[in-house]
């Protein structure tokens, strides 16, 4: 992974919903993994104004030595006013920093040779990236949240201007992430404060709005419980752009109104607290976008869950690749039909192992939140039986077609012509079956049709009709050939292995 992708991944990783402690550690780790420094430390401002070492990355010994130690605000103010100002960064070269060796700010020392070049990094050089909250007036420097300290650039050179800008942008995004984490931790207390605390709540809401709006991924807040359960209260610009819908329109919906009909079950099974799902949401233009949803609950200890905070990430490109790979893995490259593996899977999905009946009783009284869906699926399974010999009972017919003398086609006309014959047979079978039936290429010159809800006579009639379609002339250049196919019919049945069912149908077709 090149440096630009590493930096992008580090910035994106900042904005997932996490606790404050996890966010602070991710901030430190991101400097090491994404910005090209061996060591990074996050100093967080405490309520009393002093700064505590909250996280460290790059050296476990140094981490154990200084994590949790506190430096006074006065000492930090002195450091942030010394040396050279690089935009929002503060660099103190070793020629000036020696006066700081004995102050009360926790620090580590990495021994090394004296630099040989003017821009080479010295072991006693110091580089700080202050973390500021955005003020209500929109100024870039609001309240000081903390300071990122970095050391040992991988290049062993003082950062170039572009590397300084990367660190500045990362510190800006880290401040937003820390503000978000703090707000998530504090929101439940803020929501239940008495009327006398409403002024403080409005100030906190403005701070949250800034962090909420600047998040690079989509975010939404929705109600939990009551008549308005799931109704979206607020969205950020990123989500509005993602779905092509204005914020005023989004407030008329819940996610269940926007989700693709095929994904509604996935949404309903997604837990509010820590829930994660990948599903499709509707855009204004009628198309659907694959997204990743991550939920966290803003709750009050006394009254229970109140609000749902959801992070929405656009995963359209990745999901399309995954679906394309899954389709190619399940379908024959020549004919486009389901392949043997997919055929087995579709039959397996209809059958059950009868000897496992009754096992659900072992789970009675368990955690319904996790077992309910599985038990429901088992309870509503409809057993598949073979017809008993007359046309009053129907079943799942497995019709096997084995082409005769196909090798002669390859020998006489060539393999390209043989491929054309297979494609034409696949087309004819696909047109001959009903909606909902499956036509699969079993392999080589063999095809299988799954036809549900047929009696023996109907299955025989359908098989003969498809056999007749296969036998019709197939043009090959200025000639035409007729294919003959052996037909075998077997019946799928619960308690019988899919491989045994297919083997029986194949034997009848031989």
Q: Do 217-319 and 340-509 fold alike per CATH?
A: no
Q: What's the pLDDT at 1?
A: 55
Coil, helix or strand at residue 79: helix
340-509 placed in CATH 3.30.110.40: no
Reading the block at residue 294, the tokens are: 């991550």
Helix (H, G, I), strand (E, B) or coil at 106: coil
- pLDDT tens for 330-378 read 999 999 999 999 999 999 988 875 544 433 433 333 332 222 233 333 3
Between CA 360 and CA 374 the distance in angstroms is 9
Model pLDDT, residue 358: 37
65 contacts: CB under 8 Å, gap ≥ 6? 108
Structure tokens at 328: 């190619």
Q: Share the mean pLDDT of the chain.
A: 85
Q: Which CATH class is domain 3-185?
A: alpha beta
Write out the H or E segment, with its range, that includes residue 282: strand 276-282
What 3 state SS string does 430-484 have? HHHCCCCCEEEEEECCEEEEEEEEECHHHHHHHHHHHHHHHHCCEEECCEEECCE
Cβ neighbour number for residue 354 with a 10 Å cutoff: 12
Whether residue 75 has pLDDT greater than 90: yes
* Residue spans of alpha helices (H) in 219-352: 237-243, 247-250, 255-258, 264-268, 316-330, 340-350
The residues that bridge with 400 in the sheet, in sequence order, are: 448, 488
Q: What is the pLDDT of residues 290-334, one digit of tens each?
A: 999 999 887 654 565 578 889 999 999 999 999 889 889 999 999
Structure-derived torsion over alpha carbons of residues 360, 361, 367, 373, reported in degrees to the nearest 10: 30
Query: Domain limits of the chain?
Result: 3-185, 217-319, 340-509
pTM of the model: 0.46
Q: What sign does the CA torsion over 82, 86, 88, 90 have?
A: negative
Q: Provide the CATH number for the domain formed by 217-319 in this structure.
A: 3.30.450.20
State how far the Cα of 5 lies from the Cα of 35, in Å rounded to an integer.
Answer: 10
Asked if 412 and 327 touch (Cβ cutoff 8 Å), the reply is no
Out of 124-128, 222-226, 393-397, 497-501, pick the least confident: 222-226
Tokens found for residue 423: 């494609």
Q: What are the b/e assignments for 37-65, b being 16+ CB within 10 Å?
A: bbbbbbbbbeeeebbbbbbbbbbeebbee
């Amino acid at each position: 992974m090149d440096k630009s992708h590493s930096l992008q991944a580090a910035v994106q990783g900042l904005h997932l919903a996490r606790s404050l402690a996890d966010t602070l550690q991710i901030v430190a780790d991101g400097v090491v993994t994404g910005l090209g420094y061996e060591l990074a430390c996050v100093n967080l401002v405490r309520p009393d104004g002093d700064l505590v070492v909250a996280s460290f990355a790059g050296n476990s010994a140094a981490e154990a030595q200084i994590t949790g130690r506190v430096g006074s605000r006065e000492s930090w103010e002195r450091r942030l006013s010394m040396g050279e100002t690089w935009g929002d960064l503060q660099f103190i070269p070793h020629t000036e920093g020696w006066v700081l060796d004995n102050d009360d700010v926790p620090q580590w020392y990495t021994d090394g040779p004296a630099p040989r070049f003017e821009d080479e990094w010295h072991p006693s050089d110091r580089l700080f990236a202050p973390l500021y909250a955005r003020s209500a007036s929109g100024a870039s420097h609001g309240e000081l949240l903390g300071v990122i300290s970095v050391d040992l650039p991988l290049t062993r050179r003082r950062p170039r201007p572009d590397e300084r800008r990367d660190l500045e942008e990362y510190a800006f995004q880290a401040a937003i992430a820390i503000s978000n984490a703090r707000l998530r931790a504090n929101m439940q207390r803020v929501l239940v404060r008495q009327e006398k605390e409403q002024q403080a709540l409005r100030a906190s809401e403005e701070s949250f709005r800034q962090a909420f709006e600047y998040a690079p991924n989509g975010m939404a807040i929705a109600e939990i419980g009551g008549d308005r359960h799931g109704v979206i209260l607020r969205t950020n610009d990123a989500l509005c752009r993602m779905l092509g819908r204005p914020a005023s329109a989004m407030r008329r919906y819940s996610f269940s109104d926007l989700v693709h009909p095929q994904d509604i079950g996935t949404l309903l099974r997604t837990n509010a607290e820590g829930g994660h799902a990948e599903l499709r949401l509707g855009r204004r233009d009628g198309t659907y976008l694959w997204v990743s949803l991550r939920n966290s609950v803003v709750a009050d200890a006394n009254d229970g869950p109140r609000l749902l905070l959801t992070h929405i990430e656009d995963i359209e490109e990745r999901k399309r690749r995954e679906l394309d790979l899954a389709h190619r893995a399940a379908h024959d490259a020549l004919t486009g039909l389901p392949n043997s593996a997919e055929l087995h899977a579709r039959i397996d999905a209809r059958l059950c192992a009868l000897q496992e009946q009754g096992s659900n009783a072992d789970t009675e009284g368990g955690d319904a939140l996790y077992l309910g869906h599985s038990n429901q699926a088992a309870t509503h399974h409809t057993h598949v039986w073979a017809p008993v010999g007359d046309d009053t009972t129907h079943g799942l017919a497995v019709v096997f077609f084995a082409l005769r003398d196909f090798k002669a086609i390859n020998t006489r006309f060539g393999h390209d012509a043989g491929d054309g014959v297979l494609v034409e047979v696949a087309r004819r079978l696909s047109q001959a079956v009903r909606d909902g039936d499956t036509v699969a290429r079993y392999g080589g010159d063999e095809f299988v049709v799954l036809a549900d809800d047929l009696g023996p006579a109907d299955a025989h009639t359908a098989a003969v009709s498809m056999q007749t379609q296969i036998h019709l002339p197939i043009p090959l250049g200025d000639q035409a050939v007729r294919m003959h196919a052996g037909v075998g019919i077997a019946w799928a049945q619960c308690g019988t292995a899919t491989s045994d069912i297919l083997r029986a149908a194949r034997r009848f077709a031989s």
